[in-house]
Structure 1
Amino acid sequence: MNTESAQRMVLGDVEVIRVVEWQGPFGPARGIVPGAGAEVWKDNEEWLAPDHWAPDSDSAVMALQSWVLRSGGRTVLVDTGVGDGRERPDSPHFHRRQDDFLGRLERAGIRPEDVDVVVNTHLHTDHVGWNTRDVAGEWVPTFPNAEYLVPAADDFHYGPRNGYGNGLQEEDRLVYEESVAPVHRAGQVRLWDGAHRIDGNLTLEAAPGHTPGSAVLRLASGGDRAVFVGDLLHSPVQILEPACASCFCLDPGGAAVSRRRILERAADERELVVPAHFGGAGAAEVRREGKGFGLVRWAAYGTEVRR
């Protein structure tokens, strides 16, 4: 896929624009999804490769991407990627990155000042990086006119009240202090818990497990449905075997419960499933199949957005 352009689809009255920051092999497939055995990948090689699995290196292929939703006259940005110039020595893919993410947004017709709402599905480093940018040595909100919707449970867990994720990783403190605290100081954060309606088309819903406050964003407009699931899914093999958590889940069992619940509803209501890290088409329609789920089709986009 051409990551120098954005892709577009329309669901009901909502325009959906996909902006990719990076895509490629990320790490050992069975390291990313430890519970999925080699046979799951090999038996499904025909559709997993090359967009989701690189068989030669046995690597999971993933994407870093954000989604822009134009809904009800407002612009909603879902997750903000890694950001530039961040010290992330324990995360090689994220360490000191330099990407033209804001340029890609602008080429898709979105300037920082145009964004009305920023949704952080959770507070991991690759979902909050562009919440802020460095201006004269100070981290300030990238989107000056936006309300940032942050799950209260994650804000507590990763913030100072809970010792920056119980102090288990220095990276958690860096992420919060660089990408979340400055937005708090600017008065642009709204904490929410349980559920939160953004407008008549968009609703946030708690789906804990990956992190304490992990959330999904539901879109319902006209006859179209979609669910932006964040990191409930890192690889399509988790659609086939929803009990398998990723290596990044803080509560694997809780994540599995949330994942099955979300996939069941998606299958029953024909919601397009839109994960944060799927390469290729980046989204899929699913169906119930045996003890798990199967794919009906990948997302179809209109013309690429070039403005």
Structure 2
Amino acid sequence: MKLFLLELGMIRYYKDRPVCGYLIRCDDGTDVLVDTGPHRDATPDSPIIARTDPGLLEQLAAVGVRPDDVDIVVCSHLDPDHAGNHDLFPGAEFVVQQSHLELARSGTEARLEATRAQWDLPHLKYRTVDGDTTLLPGIELIESGGHITGHQSVLVRLPRTGAVLLAVDAITQEAAMDPDNRPMTRFDLDADAARASTRKLVDLARRENAMVVRNHDPKQWPTLTQWPACYE
């Protein structure tokens, strides 16, 4: 199993924080993409900028993956910086927490509407899960709501590196590793749930001796191994 870290964009209004995605290549040939990033047409004057040179498809191609090769897309959540390119993977199965998909389809959370044209297409195949779930051998989905209902993180167990916890937006920076004193942003909808999820993920990382990848951390990101290199 191999884990590739992809840089899919940048959030300008939070001091140019990176937007990350992840590709997991399994031993049996299954390709799992975690999040699809900001929409590829996001302009330079947008608050969220998509990386286009190279973009998502070019980064995947650099490691030998075509859109049709992607078997599963794990949706951490459907915020516009994470779900802007679902339409590029019509043959994939999209795996999302049931509570989150219900919220998104209800139309009551305005921020999820920004890329609805990309994620809410009738031909896309969604599979819902409820809580912590084994996706495939070595890949665990960890319910981690608070940032938004039904947010999920991903634990990957690699043969050489060991466990890697892709915290996504449950833990976005080093200061957010402290459950009791972590900062909150206006996008974190439930502070109590966010703190509970932080504690859950930090405890999991401790038990697994896992490296925690923080999705929007401009200090950590340059220190990590990024595509086309990988963690094994």
Kindly indicate whether residue 8 of structure 2 is the aligned counterpart of residue 17 of structure 1. no
Aligned residue for 1:238, secondary structure, equals helix
Q: Compared with structure 1, are the counterparts of its residues 250 and 108 closer, same or farther at alpha carbon in structure 2 (3 Å cutoff)? A: same
Structure 1 segments unaligned to the other structure (5+ residues): 1-13, 28-58, 133-141, 284-297
Deviations 1:220-272 (A, max 9, x none): 24471121111011221222565324311111111011101211221232111
Kindly indicate whether residue 134 of structure 2 is the aligned counterpart of residue 197 of structure 1. yes
Q: Compared with structure 1, are the counterparts of its residues 80 and 300 closer, same or farther at alpha carbon in structure 2 (3 Å cutoff)? A: closer
Tell whether the 8 Å contact from 1:281 to 1:300 is kept in structure 2 after alignment.
Answer: no
Which residue of 1 is the match for residue 119 of structure 2?
Answer: 180
Tell whether the 8 Å contact from 1:22 to 1:65 is kept in structure 2 after alignment.
Answer: yes
Which residue of 2 is the match for residue 147 of structure 1?
Answer: 93
Aligned partner letter, 2:108: Y
Aligned partner letter, 1:64: V
Residue pairs, 1:78-89, within 5 angstroms: 78-85=34-41
Tell whether the 8 Å contact from 1:245 to 1:255 is kept in structure 2 after alignment.
Answer: no
Percent identity, aligned pairs only, is 21
Structure 2 segments unaligned to the other structure (5+ residues): none
Tell whether the 8 Å contact from 1:85 to 1:98 is kept in structure 2 after alignment.
Answer: no
Structure 2: distance between partners of 1:148 and 1:268: 29
Deviations 1:30-66 (A, max 9, x none): xxxxxxxxxxxxxxxxxxxxxxxxxxxxx4x521121
Structure 1: distance between partners of 2:38 and 2:124: 22
Which residue of 2 is the match for residue 11 of structure 1?
Answer: none
- Aligned match for 1:225, one of 156, 159, 163: 163
Structure 2: distance between partners of 1:300 and 1:174: 31
- State the Cα RMSD in Å: 2.7
Tell whether the 8 Å contact from 1:245 to 1:256 is kept in structure 2 after alignment.
Answer: no
> How far apart are 1:300 and its partner, in Å?
5.4
- Aligned match for 1:77, one of 17, 29, 33: 33
Structure 1: distance between partners of 2:203 and 2:219: 23
Q: Compared with structure 1, are the counterparts of its residues 241 and 256 closer, same or farther at alpha carbon in structure 2 (3 Å cutoff)? A: closer
Residue pairs, 1:7-156, within 5 angstroms: 14-23=1-10, 26-27=13-14, 59=15, 61-72=16-27, 73-85=29-41, 92-94=46-48, 97=50, 99=52, 100-132=55-87, 142-156=88-102
> How far apart are 1:25 and its partner, in Å?
5.7
Tell whether the 8 Å contact from 2:34 to 2:74 is kept in structure 1 after alignment.
Answer: yes
Aligned partner letter, 1:149: V
Q: Tell me the TM-score normalized by structure 1.
A: 0.65
- Aligned match for 2:197, one of 258, 278, 285: 258
- Aligned match for 2:174, one of 213, 216, 236: 236
Q: Tell me the TM-score normalized by structure 2.
A: 0.84
Aligned residue for 1:256, secondary structure, equals helix
Q: Compared with structure 1, are the counterparts of its residues 213 and 302 closer, same or farther at alpha carbon in structure 2 (3 Å cutoff)? A: closer
Q: Compared with structure 1, are the counterparts of its residues 255 and 112 closer, same or farther at alpha carbon in structure 2 (3 Å cutoff)? A: same
Aligned partner letter, 1:93: P
Structure 2: distance between partners of 1:196 and 1:253: 23
- Aligned match for 1:163, one of 107, 110, 113: 107
Q: Compared with structure 1, are the counterparts of its residues 116 and 302 closer, same or farther at alpha carbon in structure 2 (3 Å cutoff)? A: closer
Which residue of 1 is the match for residue 208 of structure 2?
Answer: 269
Aligned partner letter, 2:148: T
Which residue of 1 is the match for residue 152 of structure 2?
Answer: 215
> How far apart are 1:101 and its partner, in Å?
2.4
Aligned partner letter, 2:206: A
Aligned residue for 1:144, secondary structure, equals coil
Structure 1: distance between partners of 2:132 and 2:51: 35
